[in-house]
């Protein structure tokens, strides 16, 4: 009697066929690199093997999506699975779906050369109105015959190797045992498929996206090798691609809004250290000194240390977040790249080349490190920081005492801030470091030893705000004794707002108000500036303060330059908001739907549409210029200053 469990058992054959496609995807990855190797200069053998290992995560995700129906038809515990007709149907489903996926990989051997990134779902939009697609397609097959030949070769391997192993119907088996094992295998296979599709089982890890490929490379340009094209298209399918607008010609557009920064500094570069602190959910509303008129002037807030720091810092009477999510804040703060409608890090353009602040300062000899107390991989932060040029990512995996883990999000702020301060003192100067706090996350708990210590309020988060403010005080007490402290520029902001208590913050102005604070010990960087600041202004302001002298792309502006009208912008769903001249303009489908004076009309109840035509026209013009520039630069992967070829 044959052992039906192992002798070409249906599940063993399924594993073989999935592994076959995994091998072919890896072969496609190698082919992609060889076909475009001149575009990846300096890639070492060790780095390439790391890329191959990392690529398996994206391959298995794509493979289970592609073969979902194929897998389902395999695991149904019915004897019809062993019929020749049934197996023939399975075979053609496998050949068609996986053959198409292999062709998509082969297509990118060529397409990559034109767009410098793997194809995303917007590729279908790119060619949907062309009338000569068929002719162009066959021309490409001929002109780039090596890629065509390679694709045919992989197809041949798929068909040949598929047929090498066939399912055999078990004979003389115990029916109860057979059906019991087959039924029990169903939830196991489903669990494996879910884990493979999302890239893991950790609660802190979002389903992997194209931006996660950055964790396996040393240079952001190499992320395309890690990915495969089917995954890149799946993960961007359904996400709204940007529309290319032509509201203004180039001359007019550059007059209205130009993200190219060309410094004209005459002073030598000032290589001070930079520390950027991003506080989870620290809405401006929670800080007493930033709300002197709230509650009739009696409001004290929940952040006594930040209040004291503001007294010796530079801050602004209006400070705006460029998004409502943590993944919006990361590119905004660290690379001056906002997220309009779709978070940048999960958009079609997540693997565009960008000039993050760490990458720019690396040219000046800076070491860079990013700290986040959550499990490594949380929200894809480790991947984005690599894209932004950070040398090292330090998370829960590198933290020495796992007993300080809060059980849900990460290490409690107080011990992790202390760890952060200790690590900073080991860095060679100059350095740039950033830390993202975690404790002020739902369920809004403080460590047991601090129960009852911090002021509570109408919202549960407010007690934790007090705890994180205390942790921040402990950090500054610690590092103020170090020799590098006085040579360091500190920037404090929040990723986004959270639960609001006051009506003034429950609208499209207040819901985006976060602190933006610049502190340099012993300097004249002080005061309360009457201008609008936004998160994407942080990078160009830091670079200006350091007298950075090379051109770069940043969608924000230098807050130390008073020669221009300050403004901020963001989106709430499909609503675009522009903040300028004490007003907020709301626009949908490029048409104004609201105009409010947020200083006189605190609750945004009285729309001024049609009542201030000159201001309205000026703000519409500015916002359209921002949209046109942002969309075109992301679509064209034109987000860095490129040297002429």
Rounded to the nearest 5°, which phi and psi values hold at 24?
-65, -35
Nearest alpha-carbon partner for 628 in 119, 339, 254, 114: 254
Averaged over 296-320, what is the pLDDT? 97
Please report where in the chains the tokens 């500054």 appear, as a residue. Answer: 476
pLDDT, residue 48, reads: 93
The two structure tokens encoding residue 447 = 């460590």
HEC sequence for 518-572? EECCCCCCCEEEEEEEEHHHHHHHHHHHCCCCCCEECCCCCCCCCCCCCEEEEEE
CATH class given for the domain over 250-257+268-487+503-635: alpha beta
For 204, the token pair is 């802190």
- Cα–Cα distance, 196 to 208 (Å, whole number): 10
pLDDT digits (tens, 9 = 90+) for 389-426: 999 999 999 999 999 999 888 999 999 999 999 999 99
Q: For 88-131, what is each residue's pLDDT tens digit?
A: 999 999 999 999 999 999 998 988 876 677 888 766 655 554 45
d(CA 627, CA 151): 39
Q: In whole angstroms, what is the distance from residue 43 CA to residue 37 CA? A: 9
Which residues does residue 529 pair with via DSSP β-bridges, in sequence order?
A: 316
**pTM value?**
0.81
Say yes or no to pLDDT of 2 above 50: no
**Per-domain residue ranges for the chain?**
10-236, 250-257+268-487+503-635
The enclosing H or E element of 593 equals: strand 591-597
**Residue tagged 């499909």 (tokens):** 574
Half-sphere exposure of 425 (CA within 13 A, CB side): 13
Classify the phi-psi angles of 590: left when phi > 0, otherwise alpha if psi is within -120 to 50, otherwise beta.
Answer: left
C-alpha span between 420 and 371 (Å, rounded) = 7
pLDDT tens by residue, 569-597: 999 878 899 999 999 999 988 999 999 99
57-68 confidence digits (pLDDT tens)? 999 999 999 999
Q: Is the pLDDT of residue 3 over 60?
A: no
pLDDT at 202 over 70: no
């Amino acid at each position: 009697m044959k052992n039906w469990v192992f002798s070409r058992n249906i599940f063993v054959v399924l594993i073989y066929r999935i592994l076959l496609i995994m091998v072919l995807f890896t072969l496609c990855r190698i082919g992609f690199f060889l076909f475009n190797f001149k575009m990846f200069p300096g890639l070492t053998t060790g780095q390439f093997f790391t890329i191959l290992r990392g690529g398996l995560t994206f391959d298995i995700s794509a493979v289970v999506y592609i073969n979902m129906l194929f897998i389902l038809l395999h695991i149904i515990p019915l004897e019809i699975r062993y019929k020749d007709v049934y197996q023939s149907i399975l075979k053609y489903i496998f050949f068609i779906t996986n053959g198409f996926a292999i062709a998509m990989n082969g297509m990118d051997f060529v397409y990559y050369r034109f767009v410098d990134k793997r194809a995303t779902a917007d590729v279908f939009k790119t060619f949907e109105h062309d009338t000569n697609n068929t002719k162009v397609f066959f021309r490409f097959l001929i002109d780039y015959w090596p890629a065509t030949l390679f694709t045919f070769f992989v197809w041949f391997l798929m068909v040949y190797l598929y047929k090498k192993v066939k399912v055999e119907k078990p004979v003389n088996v115990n029916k109860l045992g057979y059906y019991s094992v087959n039924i029990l295998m169903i939830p196991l296979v489903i669990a494996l498929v879910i884990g493979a599709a999302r890239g893991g089982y950790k609660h802190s890890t979002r389903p992997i996206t194209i931006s996660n490929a950055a964790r396996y490379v040393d240079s952001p340009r190499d992320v395309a090798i890690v990915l495969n094209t089917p995954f890149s298209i799946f993960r961007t399918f359904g996400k709204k691609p940007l529309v290319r607008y032509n509201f203004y010609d180039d001359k007019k557009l550059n007059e209205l809004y130009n993200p190219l920064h060309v410094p004209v500094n005459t002073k030598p570069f000032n290589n001070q250290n930079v520390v950027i602190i991003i506080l989870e959910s620290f809405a401006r509303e929670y800080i007493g000194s930033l709300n002197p008129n709230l509650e009739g002037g009696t409001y004290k807030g929940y952040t006594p240390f930040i209040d004291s720091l503001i007294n010796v810092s530079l801050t602004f009477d209006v400070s705006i977040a460029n998004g409502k999510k943590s993944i919006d804040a990361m590119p905004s703060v660290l690379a001056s790249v906002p997220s309009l409608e779709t978070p940048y890090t999960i958009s079609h353009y997540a693997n565009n080349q960008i000039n993050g602040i760490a990458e720019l300062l690396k040219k000046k000899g800076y070491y860079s490190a990013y700290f986040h107390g959550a499990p490594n991989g949380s929200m894809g932060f480790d991947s984005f920081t690599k894209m932004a040029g950070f040398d090292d990512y330090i998370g829960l995996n590198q933290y020495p005492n796992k007993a300080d883990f809060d059980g849900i999000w990460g290490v409690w702020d107080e011990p992790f801030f202390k760890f952060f301060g200790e690590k900073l003192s080991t860095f060679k100067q100059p350095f740039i470091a950033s830390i993202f706090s975690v404790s002020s996350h739902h369920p809004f708990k403080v460590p047991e030893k601090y129960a009852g210590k911090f002021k509570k309020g109408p919202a549960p988060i407010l007690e934790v705000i007090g705890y994180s403010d205390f942790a921040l005080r402990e950090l500054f007490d610690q590092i103020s004794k170090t020799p590098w402290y006085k040579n360091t520029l500190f920037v404090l902001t929040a990723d986004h707002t959270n639960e609001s208590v006051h009506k003034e913050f429950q609208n499209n102005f207040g819901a985006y108000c976060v602190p933006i604070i610049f502190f340099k010990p012993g300097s004249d960087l002080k005061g309360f500036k009457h201008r609008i600041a936004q998160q994407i202004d942080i990078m160009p302001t830091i670079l200006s303060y350091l007298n950075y002298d090379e051109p770069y792309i940043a969608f924000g502006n230098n807050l130390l330059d008073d020669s221009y009208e300050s403004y901020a912008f963001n989106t709430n769903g499909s609503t675009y908001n522009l903040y300028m001249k004490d007003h907020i303009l709301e626009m949908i489908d490029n048409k104004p739907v609201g105009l409010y004076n947020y200083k006189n009309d605190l609750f945004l109840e009285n729309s001024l549409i049609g009542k201030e035509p000159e201001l309205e026209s000026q703000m519409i013009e500015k916002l359209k210029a921002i949209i046109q520039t942002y969309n075109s630069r992301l679509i064209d992967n034109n987000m860095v200053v490129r040297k002429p070829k």
